[in-house]
Structures are given as C-alpha cells and as structure tokens.
Amino acid sequence: MSMEPISLNLPGEGEYFTQEAYKTLRTNIQFCGKNIKVIAITSVSENEGKSTVSLHIGKSFAELGKKVLVIDADMRKSVIAGRNTTADTPSGLSELLTGLKEKEDCFYPVKDLSMEVIFSGPYPPNPVELLNSDTFAKMIKEARSHYDYIIIDTPPLREVIDAAVVATRCDGVIMVLGSTKVHYNQAQELVEQIEKSGCKMLGVVLNHRKRNDKRGYYRKKYYKAYGATEEKAKK
Ligand SMILES: Nc1ncnc2c1ncn2[C@@H]1O[C@H](COP(=O)(O)OP(=O)(O)OP(=O)(O)O)[C@@H](O)[C@H]1O
Ligand SMILES: [Mg+2]
C-alpha cells in the first residue's frame, strides 16, 4: 500500500530569517561529523519548541536532498500530526512498537520532500518501556541504513525520563531553549543526564518565539513604566 503524502505546516515556514537560522543549524550539525545521524531533540520544560524544531531540522536536511525520517517519540502528548501536518488521525510509534501496526502503515511520506514522518500514535500505558524495548532499538538500527538523518522528537526531560531513554539509541542530542524561565542549573542538569546516558550533547537551539514584535512590545512597556516613575520622582 502506498500512502498519500502529507504536507507540513510549521510556524516560520517560508520566512527568510527562520530559513537562514535552520540552514546554519543544519551546517552546524553537519560539522559535528558524519557519524552524527540519529539526533534526539529535547528541552527542560514544556512548550519550548521541540516539535517545531524537530520538523524544521528534518525539512532543512530534506531540502538538501538528504533522506530524512522524523519520529514523534512524545507518545504522551501527540500534537504534531494534527497541528503541523495534514495527516488525519494517523497510525504511529506506539502501535508500531506494540506490534498493532505494520511499518507500511506508519511511515508517512512528506509531499515534495525526501522525508518521512512517524507520528506518535495513541497514548500507550508504558511509553518508557516501549522506548526501552529491543523493538525500538532494532527499528532505529534498521532506519540507519535507509536514512541520512533520523530526527527524534521527545517530551521535556524535567517532566519524564523518555528523552534520556531515547538518547541511548542516538548519536547526539540537541536541547531547545525557548523559555527564559529555564534556569542555568536546570539546563546543566539536562546536559548531565544526557551525557550519563552515553550520548553526545550537540548543542542548544534558542527558540525565541516571535522575537521582534514580542521584544518590542515588552521594551515599549518597560520604557513607558520607567518613564512614568521618572515623572513621579521629579514631582
Ligand atoms: N519559533 C516559533 N515561532 C512561532 N511559534 C512557535 C515557534 N516555536 C514554537 N512555536 C509555537 O509554540 C507552541 C509550542 O511549540 P512546540 O509544540 O514545538 O513545543 P514543544 O517543546 O514540542 O512542546 P511540548 O513540550 O508540549 O511537546 C506551538 O503552538 C508552536 O506552534
Ligand atoms: Mg512537542
């Protein structure tokens, strides 16, 4: 059965600065070495942009003609399929790893790109166990011979251990830092946890959302408040 290709829908897609940023990131990953092929994307806390960054990195490599597989290994909170693609309640990783679905049902090709996506599938009772399984290890091992890059999206490491488990099958990990609320210590802990799993920390992606307008907004507000107190002080 050949599957209908899906389309992507990503924030920043088609924007010049976003595209340039991902090209730079892509180049930096390539400079990490030819042996860096399977990469996990994680963060300290929720909502920092892991899933968005995962798909953007995948797309960026595919645009270079590389064969890419993006795996949504955040089986606890599946949003990619519905939010970032045209796939409609797709089969996914949880079903693949429990043997409920076949490979042919779970690898979704992306339209016009040498890229495929495995969605998370329905929330299983035992995500860590599934990610720790020989089935997952075997799946990644097989994928290594078919793809140039395998990008794996994971849940936040402060909340659950999944990313560290996935990291044991990866060549490198990228941390997404999207929140100014993440403290240095927490980021440091994440790095240590990843390194303990025997995986290489490749680097950090700063995902400052809506950088220009948001900063402008806060700055304006700040200046206004400052000006107001100054006025008061003069009186
Ligand atoms: N650079 C960006 N510009 C605009 N919106 C963004 C950007 N990055 C992420 N977002 C938006 O922020 C929200 C969170 O992003 P995303 O789902 O990628 O984060 P996440 O770290 O995977 O979250 P979770 O921990 O819930 O899995 C989404 O609505 C996404 O569309
Ligand atoms: Mg996510």
CB atoms within 10 A of CB 131: 24
Pocket test for ligand 1, best of 42, 45, 52 (most atoms within 8 A of CB): 52
DSSP line for 212-233: HHHHHHHHHHHHHHHHHHHHHH
Nearest ligand 1 atom to the CA of 208 is: 1
What residues line ligand 1, using a CB cutoff of 6 Å? 11-12, 43, 46-52, 74, 77, 79, 156, 207, 209-210
Å from CA of 154 to ligand 2 middle: 7
Which atom of ligand 1 has the smallest separation from the CA of 48? 21
Question: Domains (ranges, CATH) in the chain?
Answer: 16-210 (3.40.50.300)
Is the Cα torsion angle 199, 200, 202, 207 positive or negative in sign? positive
Residue type, 54: S
What are φ and ψ of residue 53, in 5° steps?
-65, -40
pLDDT of residue 208: 77
Q: Distance (Å, rounded) from C-alpha 6 to C-alpha 76?
A: 22
- Amino acid, res. 208: H
pLDDT in tens, 121-166: 999 999 999 999 999 999 999 999 999 999 999 999 999 999 999 9
* Protein residue closest via CA to atom 3 of ligand 1: 209
Cβ burial 160-199 (10 Å sphere, 16+ → b, else e): eebbbbbbebbbbbbbbbbbeebeeebeeebeebbeebeb
Q: How far apart are CA 183 and CA 7, in angstroms?
A: 36
Rounded Cα distance between 98 and 101, Å, is 8
Mean pLDDT of 33-57: 95
| Closest atom, ligand 1, to C-alpha of 176 | 21
Using the mean position of ligand 2's atoms as its centre, give its distance from the Cα of residue 12 in Å. Answer: 16
The confidence band for 1, taking pLDDT boundaries of 50, 70 and 90, is: low
Residue pair 90/146 in contact by the 8 Å Cβ criterion:
no
Decide if pLDDT at 220 tops 90.
no
Residue pLDDT, tens place only, 166-195: 999 999 999 999 867 788 899 999 999 999
Q: How far apart are CA 107 and CA 88, in angstroms?
A: 14
Average pLDDT of the chain, as a whole number: 88
For residue range 62-75, what is the model confidence (pLDDT) as tens digits? 999 999 999 999 99
Q: Of ligand 1's atoms, which has the minimum distance to the CA of residue 79?
A: 17
Q: What is the largest CA-CA distance in the chain?
A: 78
Which one-letter amino acid corresponds to residue 172? G
Tell me how far apart the alpha carbons of residues 9 and 21 are, in angstroms, rounded to a whole number: 18
Rounded distance, CA 157 to CA 154, Å?
8
Looking at residues 188-206, what average pLDDT do you find? 93
pTM: 0.89
Q: 117 to each of 53, 106, 155, how far by Cα in Å?
A: 14, 8, 17
Cα(7) to centroid(ligand 2), Å: 18
Tell whether the model's pLDDT for residue 45 goes beyond 50: yes
Radius of gyration over every alpha carbon of the chain, rounded to an integer in angstroms:
20
